[in-house]
């Protein structure tokens, strides 16, 4: 169950309040041609289709997404880097269009300083960085936006992160990394109450590492910042039950529910309606604790 040290208040996301007293759903909107599950879904004749994106944004918002996470660089295992110009071209028009039409918080899934800066102008309310602000200029850019930021643990880079990842104690090492990055960001001028943490399921970790992190997620929660968990459709499911991507919904919901029951406050998911229903059950249980 949730740690007493967990922070469960509201966070201001560029004027929109994110209430983390109960677990919330972050809907995934990857405007990339090569993301592992939804790559290319929002492309038409080689370009991002705003109509398709807005249709999905509307459906996710109606289904219960509190946040829409827009990313323009695939970070699946083995993914190649994308240029700064291409990432900007993909995500900025999308963030702007969603922000103008919907009241949902928009998150920018990026490690690139210029994308962070342009995203806040376009209407983003949160920065979600798989590299925990370690790319050149990212920490300063995130500080200057004054947006909340999620720091994720990733071993190595997407191109090589799944090449035999090894840890002496994955839970302890991820906890130390996130604690240290939290301290670094606070020292650099980012307000502590604006920082969220993500253990990085599937990013430089074997299936065993992922399940160890989930089993001991309260150790990450105990750092004292809200935790985001991204488990949707990931290969750790296939490692146990050998399901294809389109067959992983029940297992994804089980993992999401376990993560929320162990203290995660944001669940990043492809299947928003079903995940929102699962989170409503967790919230109902938590009211009786």
Q: Provide the annotated active-site residues.
A: 234, 268
Q: How far is CA 270 from the centre of its chain?
A: 11
**In this structure, are strands 266-269 and 228-230 parallel, antiparallel, or unpaired?**
parallel
Contact at 8 Å (CB) between 116 and 144? no
State the Cα–Cα distance between residues 87 and 24, nearest whole angstrom: 27
State the Cα–Cα distance between residues 108 and 288, nearest whole angstrom: 35
**In this structure, are strands 43-44 and 47-48 parallel, antiparallel, or unpaired?**
antiparallel
Relative orientation angle of helices 113-122 and 138-145, to the nearest 10 degrees: 20
State the Cα–Cα distance between residues 113 and 101, nearest whole angstrom: 26
């Amino acid at each position: 169950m949730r740690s007493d040290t967990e922070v469960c208040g509201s966070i201001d996301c560029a004027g929109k309040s994110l209430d983390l007293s109960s677990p919330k759903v972050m809907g995934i909107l990857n405007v990339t041609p090569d993301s592992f599950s939804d790559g290319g879904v929002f492309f038409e004749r080689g370009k991002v289709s705003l109509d398709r994106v807005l249709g999905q944004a509307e459906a996710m918002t109606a289904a219960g997404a509190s946040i829409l996470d827009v990313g323009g660089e695939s970070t699946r295992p083995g993914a190649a880097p994308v240029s700064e110009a291409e990432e900007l071209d993909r995500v900025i028009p999308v963030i702007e269009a969603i922000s103008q039409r919907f009241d949902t918080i928009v998150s920018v899934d990026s490690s690139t300083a210029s994308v962070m800066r342009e995203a806040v102008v376009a209407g983003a309310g949160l920065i979600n960085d798989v590299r925990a602000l370690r790319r050149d200029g990212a920490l300063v850019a995130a500080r200057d936006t004054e947006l909340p930021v999620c720091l994720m643990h990733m071993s190595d880079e997407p191109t090589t992160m799944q090449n035999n990842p090894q840890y002496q104690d994955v839970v302890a090492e991820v906890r130390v990394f996130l604690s240290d990055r939290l301290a670094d960001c606070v020292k650099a001028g980012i307000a502590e109450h604006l920082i969220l943490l993500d253990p990085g399921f599937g990013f430089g970790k074997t299936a065993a590492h992922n399940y160890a992190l989930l089993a001991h997620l309260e150790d990450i929660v105990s750092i004292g910042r809200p935790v985001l968990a991204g488990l949707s459709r990931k290969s750790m499911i296939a490692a146990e039950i050998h399901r294809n991507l389109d067959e992983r919904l029940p297992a994804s919901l089980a993992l999401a529910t376990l993560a929320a029951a162990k203290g995660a406050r944001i669940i990043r998911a492809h299947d928003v309606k079903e995940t929102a229903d699962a989170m409503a059950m967790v919230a109902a249980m938590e009211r009786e604790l």
